Amino acid sequence: MPNRDLGVAALVQRLRDRPDFRRHPLRAIWRRTWWRVRWRLTRRPWLVAWHEGLRIALPKGGPAALVYYQGFSEPDTADLLRALLQPGMVLADVGAHFGEYTLLGARRVGDTGEVHAFEPDP
């Protein structure tokens, strides 16, 4: 839950610290604005074009907003998976949430590999 006590200056600084803002400031502001407007219009998951020709369904909240803003919730993790995964390998995505690394892994290991995704939820 965001801290509502932050002043405007602190919020602006947080935005300026984001990698996607440093690369494309106007795009970053637009994406954040559109994310909020979109969720006021509907509660259904949002199917968006994503990496490597894939589409991903983004739920409201959690790391899904980061995926929409910057491509991945944790870009360093995505870079590591891209570097390590090869066709024919097996990936276990434990804590898969909405499947951003599941999809990336499936694309990387291909038809000869396997991806097992688990989201433990009591």
Query: Is residue 3 assigned to a domain?
Result: no
Give the whole-angstrom CA distance, residue 59 versus residue 16: 25
Specify whether the CB–CB gap between 76 and 84 falls below 8 A.
Answer: no
Query: Is residue 2 assigned to a domain?
Result: no
Mean pLDDT of 90-95: 96
pLDDT at 93: 97
Number of domains the chain contains: 1
Query: Is residue 101 assigned to a domain?
Result: yes
Specify whether the CB–CB gap between 92 and 118 falls below 8 A.
Answer: yes
pLDDT over 60 (residue 3): no
Query: Is residue 1 assigned to a domain?
Result: no
pLDDT at 118: 96
In 6-73, beta strands by DSSP E: 46-49, 55-58
pLDDT at 12: 81
Range of the domain at 28: 8-118
67: part of which helix (H) or strand (E)? helix 64-70
Query: Is residue 41 assigned to a domain?
Result: yes
Give the whole-angstrom CA distance, residue 69 versus residue 20: 7
